[in-house]
Structure 1
């Protein structure tokens, strides 16, 4: 009896999760049939405007990435960039590629702009140089980015005519706005169904139990 009561208590939310998964997976006929049966049987369905667990996680990721941006934490920022943005977007979208390039410039000059010391400045610029030789190499023939390939070799970039704009508050603010808008769209464009999160949570919680049973 208690089991039935617990299901009834969350039935609307469970129906919403199933419906969300069918929609995400493109099961159009099943989705329509499910909707029709819910209506026919008078089953509850949680309001679609209820914020899903996935949405909350994406919002948290966006907020954390913006904080890392402000603090100049390049490594952690790009770890989250890779974790939260699909590779098809990062490698196939020109807006994402250009933004990633400018973000690398920002993190390269961050220690100089905010006076974090010579050691950190050299470290960040070396990481930028490595980026130019790897992921950044794809834009090496683009007129917009060509001047920045010399940035790691300029002794005093802050006063150099080609780069002094990068150190202005307006340039950084503009990049911040572009980043926030991009993350808002990119992270919410293909929200992961809550069923995925539930499965992952279940798998993590029961992984030790499963391993123990296998070993016995």
Structure 2
């Protein structure tokens, strides 16, 4: 993504050179709200794991994942599309686990109220047992959920998400025609 950063700098220099300060301000404002974060893996990782999940921004998290699903919906590689789908499910499950671990079960209830029907309609990913997590005293001890509460699962999820986006974005110049 160094090419994208280089291109942004060129645009900034051009706008400054031409004296287009209002346009430069608009450009900077647009960049700051860029949901894809310029397809920079570290920024996306921070957005997911340091902002949206810990601050319980389920709507923004779901929106971001939907954005990537839409961006990559034309992927000819069905393995990549399936991987993205599995990662999306795992990230959403991590949101639920993080909320439970943080003692914010009301956030889990809000999440299922807002997205439960969509989750249940997804084929291949059984969310039904997850609706019971709200009513379990210690879901981290339940054999069905125990793995999701482990540090190893979380670290594996982060690594998988990082590797996936790195692989996709390193090939982004091919996918999107960038050089």
**Structure with the greater alpha carbon radius of gyration:** 1
1:175 to 137, 152, 157: 157
**What per-residue deviation string (whole Å, max 9, x for no partner) do you get for residues 6-34 of structure 1?**
xxxxxxxxxxxxxxxxxxxxxxxxxxxxx
Structure 1 spans left out of the alignment, 5+ residues = 1-49, 196-216
Find the aligned partners of 1:194 and 1:186 in 2 and give their Cα distance: 13
TM-score normalised by structure 1 residue count: 0.51
Partner of 1:150: 129
2:2 to 32, 44, 51: 51
- Tell me, yes or no, if the aligned pair for 2:99 and 2:107 is still in contact at 8 Å: no
Deviation at 1:64, TM superposition (A): 2.2
- Give me the CA root mean square deviation: 3.1
Find the aligned partners of 1:169 and 1:124 in 2 and give their Cα distance: 20
1:98 paired to 2:86: yes
Deviation at 1:126, TM superposition (A): 3.7
1:112 to 100, 123, 127: 100
**What per-residue deviation string (whole Å, max 9, x for no partner) do you get for residues 153-199 of structure 1?**
2322222221111101001111111100111122333334569xxxx
Which residues in structure 2 correspond to 1:80-91 (within 5 Å)? 80-84=64-68, 86-88=71-73
Structure 2 spans left out of the alignment, 5+ residues = 9-37
TM-score normalised by structure 2 residue count: 0.60
Deviation at 1:107, TM superposition (A): 0.7
1:186 paired to 2:176: no
